[in-house]
Structure 1
Amino acid sequence: MSTATVDQPADAAPAAAPSVDRIAITVRVRRFNPEVSAESAWVDYQIEMDPKERVLDALHKIKWEIDGTLTFRRSCAHGICGSDAMRINGRNRLACKTLIKDINPDKPITVEPIKGLTVLKDLVVDMEPFFQAYRDVMPFLITTGNEPTRERRQSAKDRERFDDTTKCILCAACTSSCPVFWNDGQYFGPAAIVNAHRFIFDSRDEGGEQRLEILNEQEGVWRCRTTFNCTDACPRGIEVTKAIQEVKRALITRRF
């Protein structure tokens, strides 16, 4: 069956694009430039944004249209790389996953660097201590014997045992939300323990005892005070506090 069509006049105007309701917001950024001042300062930026856009979009608008000196990290912009972790309205979040409409745009939106790590400039912190703790727990598969001739197989049940902690994207949101880490930069921190957990409970791995001994040290899992800040801050929904408690239990029982 044919479908009737209506020819449009050649000079007909194109259909109007749907309007976007933009709102005026204030983004209050904690700025720091060691070449200018030893102190940080809050700077307000008034911009217009679609409330369905993200805080990262607002930062891009500020940098590209108002002040090109604003410095922050970002990469994939889709919540996978973990580069743009920052404190937004007092909570650790990923700027690329935080919608403006979800954080009360009627009030100034505060943006500042994550805590517990040295600020290098504006929203950029020195991540080296964080990554050193990650390296210290040996986040890789440890096995003995000859190199296998086929893949190391694992049952679905064994894989499920550590599935949650494989989701970590190393954004440091959990570690930099931890009061113990704020006060003692030597503490391994939640992210390092989560990544140790991922291999300690992997049935294919043979380095569990080594990792447990590392985390049994003075700055290991026993520094955790179970405040649940880390679990609340994780943008991937990892049960961080639960993972830390499971590592503590493995240290006591030596069963993993």
Structure 2
Amino acid sequence: MEVSRYRPGEDDEPVLQGYDVPLMPDWAVLDGLNYIKDRLDGSLSYRWSCRMGVCGSCGMTVNGEPRLTCGTFLTEYGDGPVRIEPLKGFPVIRDLVVDIDDFLAKLSSVRPWLVRDGEDLPLTTEYAQTPEQLEAYRQYSMCINCLLCYSACPVYVLDPDFLGPAAIALAQRYNLDSRDMDDRFDVLNLDDAVWGCTFVGECTRACPKHVDPAEAIQRYKLTAALRSVLPWSRR
């Protein structure tokens, strides 16, 4: 395996370091990194948690593509080498660890929670939904904030002000929720939000949970356009 190493204060820029890792038939790339950490070089830094494709924390660039390392297997690359680098588009803190503060700020800006006008928190009333109402937003609720879509998005890599695929998809998740009373028009109908998307579609291709953020963005473009023509319309 070839692993990107970057140590603040020691390296001017990231460099690739090679490690000999056994090619086990059931090992994911994350297992290879853990082997390096446990057996070869304890100074290697990277994020991981669940190993089940749920937490989203182990996203990295594997042979040039954004992937979850827990769900990407060494056997996919034959005898290698397998090149592991941090996600593109984010500042590198150390080795494979990137700074996600910008994403967290963007995520918070779209208000990814149920908004109920005139009700005080915490909400204690139950709001029933039909299966059809649940299905309207279920796909977008599968996002695990792994940031693979951001790393794959050419717009975000070139323009860090772009709101980005995951934040927009999660905004749509709540816009389409029958229990929500917000429309998030103020944060989505902007040049740096849905209108900044050039519809390359790489975000959807990279998504491990099939959220299809590209579709979410295009759907809200239609919503925003209709609202501009019919100001009283919502969602």
TM-score band by shorter chain is over 0.9
1:191 equivalenced with 2:166 (yes/no): yes
Q: Does 1:121 align with 2:94?
A: yes
Partner of 1:131: 104
Rounded to whole Å, the distance in 2 between the matches of 1:179 and 1:79 is 24
| 1:151 counterpart = 2:126 | yes
Alignment partners' CA distance in 1, 2:111 and 2:38: 40
Alignment of 1:158-173 (within 5 A): 158-173=133-148
How many angstroms does 1:107 deviate by?
2.5
- In structure 1, what is the equivalent of residue 44 of structure 2? 70
User: Are 1:239 and 2:212 matched, yes or no?
Assistant: yes
Residue 174 (structure 2) pairs with residue 175 (structure 1): no
Please state if 1:29 is matched with 2:3: yes
Higher mean alpha-carbon deviation, 137-146 vs 220-229, is at 137-146
Distance 1:35 1:146, change over 3 A: closer
Tell me the percent identity: 38
Partners of 1:217 and 1:89 in 2: CA distance: 34
Q: Could you tell me which of 24, 28, 33 is aligned with 1:59?
A: 33
> What is the CA distance between 1:35 and its match in structure 2?
2.0
Q: Secondary structure at the match of 2:13?
A: coil
Query: Residue 200 of structure 1: CA displacement?
Result: 0.8
List gaps (5 residues or longer) in structure 1. 1-26
User: Equivalent of 1:99, from 70, 73, 81?
Assistant: 73
Residue deviations 1:1-46 (CA, integer Å, cap 9, x gap) = xxxxxxxxxxxxxxxxxxxxxxxxxx01111111211111111111
SS in 2 for 1:192: helix
Amino acid at match of 2:198: R
2:181 aligned with 1:212: no
TM-score by length of structure 1 reads 0.86
Q: What is the TM-score with the length of structure 2 in the denominator?
A: 0.93
1: CA distance between counterparts of 2:83 and 2:25?
A: 16
What's the CA shift for 1:71?
0.4
Q: Which residue of 2 aligns with 1:202?
A: 177
Amino acid at match of 1:137: V
Q: Which runs of 4+ in 1 moved over 4 A?
A: 146-149
Q: Secondary structure at the match of 1:120?
A: strand
Which residue does the alignment assign to 1:19?
Answer: none
Counterpart Cα distance in 2 of 1:179 and 1:42: 24
Q: How many residues in Structure 1 have an aligned counterpart in Structure 2?
A: 227
